[in-house]
Amino acid sequence: MKKLTITALALCISVSLSAQEKVDMNMVQKIRQEGLENSKVMDIAFQITDVAGPRLSNSPGLKRAQDWAVRQFTSWGLKNVHLESWGQFGKGWQIDKYYAATTLPYYHAIIGAPKAWTPGTKGAIKSEVILIKADTVTDLLPYKGKLAGKIVIFDQVTLQPLQNSYKPDAVRYTDSVLSKMAEATASPQTQRPRTGAANNMMAQMMKMREVRAAMASFMQQEQVGLILSYARGNHGTFFTSNGASYALDAKPVSPELEISAEDYLHMLRLLRAGEKVEVEADIRTSFYDQDPKGYNVIAEIPGTDKKLKEEIVMIGGHYDSWHSATGATDNAAGAAVMMETMRILKTINFKPKRTIRIALWSSEEQGLFGSRGYVAQHFGDPKTMILTKDHKKISAYYNLDNGTGAIRGIYLQGNAAAGPIFQDWLSPFHDLGAKTVTLSNTGGTDHQAFDAVGIPGFQFIQDPMDYNTRTHHSNQDTFDRLAEEDLKRAATIVASFVYHTSERKELIPRKELPKAPEAPKQ
């Protein structure tokens, strides 16, 4: 990594001198040197992915990764390092063995993975594949008594042949796109009344879920050997999901194998043409219900200022992943960057005024459970807006969870007052392409838990890369998809934001406190 040129450094100093918000260029330079020249972010990512493995909620892989993080934080000299329960989750689950292949009309290994929280096949099975043509439970009646131990596939008439795309998988934001983001204006977050069409669509979705649940129940009662299901994706990439509930009292389901679109369509074409298809499979999965609680990893660099040390700057990212790969871009990347941020600040011997706290959340993938549980315990309940005494002590929460792409700026989440502050703090990193501040909201990750109770919660803008096209929840989400230089830069920028937030005279400005939702009318 090249050091700041004299011109670039002079420009940064000029910007900082003319800005109202203080930018400590001496500290920025220390952070840049450690973060860009002595980075350990890829070593951290390696431990989270290749060593710990898939990190499905409450799985042994997540437990391995959490225990390693506790040891790592402790070795760095962080304080108050612990696993903290956020509440009840349910059963853990992992794949112990997966093998499946067609044996007729010829041998072909199948790309796929068991759906999360589904059982195994109770040993090796081999069966002619039965094509199920059914849109309703009534359509299944002719199959009654004929499916025990069989491998089945559904004739989904809506499936279309795969289309080649000539768009690149991985992209970066262009200047024009970033400019449009910067021009966004805040809009009131009002709940729009649902239209008749929306109500009708919701009713259709609920009916579809009921039908699917009834069909799944039929398959389980018939003791089907294995269900083959269609996975979204192409080119051998498939995006995975769960096939059953993780609740301790969840109803039993059939073994289900989610397979690549190419393999599914291959079998479907043969069966529709009247050709015989045979599949053999051996799937073993394990459930873990000894400890159904969910846990976050927490660690701190304690504050040193007598007046400000009780105040907090928080950073975090979710630590859990899906099971068909090792969750590198979702979200070992974000977790590794935030861990590296703490390492950088500790290594340069920074003694913060405010306490700096990191959280590695669990069960984000099931509904932000880790961060929401933590916020409810420590800061307030968004359902009632009853707040704790610590609510006023937290300055800001910074999150990273949009893949491996470089940080290009930050979403304000409608917090206009924070805009000028962040513009100034980004000024030393314009040479790294990070300069966009947008009023826009972004959703789907853990900063929302903080924003919901009026705490300034922010997600950084990241280059899309191949996150949505190739890696997000897919079998391709591995260490090899990580962009090392982007992660180094991200940790450096976050470390600078954390430093300036901890040393700032005032807390980060807050938006108007959200109102508690109205209770439904009886």
| Residue that is written with structure tokens 């849109």 in the block | 135
Whether the link from the prior residue into 331 is cis, omega within 30° of 0, is: yes
Please report, for residues 35, 71, 73, 251, 266, the alpha-carbon distance to residue 339 in angstroms, rounded to integers and kept in the order given. 12, 12, 8, 39, 44
Q: What is the pLDDT of residue 6?
A: 35
The residue type at 211: V
Reading across the β-sheet that carries 407-411, which strands appear in turn? 79-88, 293-301, 355-361, 312-318, 394-399, 457-462, 407-411, 436-438
Q: What is the pLDDT of residue 212?
A: 82
SS3 label, residue 127:
strand
User: What is the rounded CA–CA span in Å between residue 353 and residue 330?
Assistant: 32
Kindly state the tokens that stand for 204. Answer: 């259709």
User: What is the rounded CA–CA span in Å between residue 271 and residue 273?
Assistant: 5
Q: What is the pLDDT of residue 190?
A: 44
User: What is the rounded CA–CA span in Å between residue 52 and residue 45?
Assistant: 10
The pLDDT profile of the chain, 522 residues, written as one tens digit per residue, is 444 443 344 334 434 444 479 999 999 999 999 999 999 999 999 999 999 999 999 999 999 999 999 999 999 999 999 999 999 999 999 999 999 999 999 999 999 999 999 999 999 999 999 999 988 889 999 999 999 999 999 998 778 788 888 888 899 999 999 999 999 886 555 444 556 666 777 676 677 777 788 888 999 999 999 999 999 999 999 999 888 999 999 999 999 999 999 999 999 999 999 999 999 999 999 999 999 999 999 999 999 999 999 999 999 999 999 999 999 999 999 999 999 999 999 999 999 999 999 999 999 999 999 999 999 999 999 999 999 999 999 999 999 999 999 999 999 999 999 999 999 999 999 999 999 999 999 999 999 999 999 999 999 999 999 999 999 999 999 999 999 999 999 999 999 999 999 999 999 999 999 998 876 665
Q: What is the pLDDT of residue 191?
A: 46
User: What is the rounded CA–CA span in Å between residue 218 and residue 137?
Assistant: 8
How are beta strands 256-259 and 293-301 bridged, if at all? unpaired
User: What is the rounded CA–CA span in Å between residue 440 and residue 449?
Assistant: 17
Q: What is the pLDDT of residue 522?
A: 58
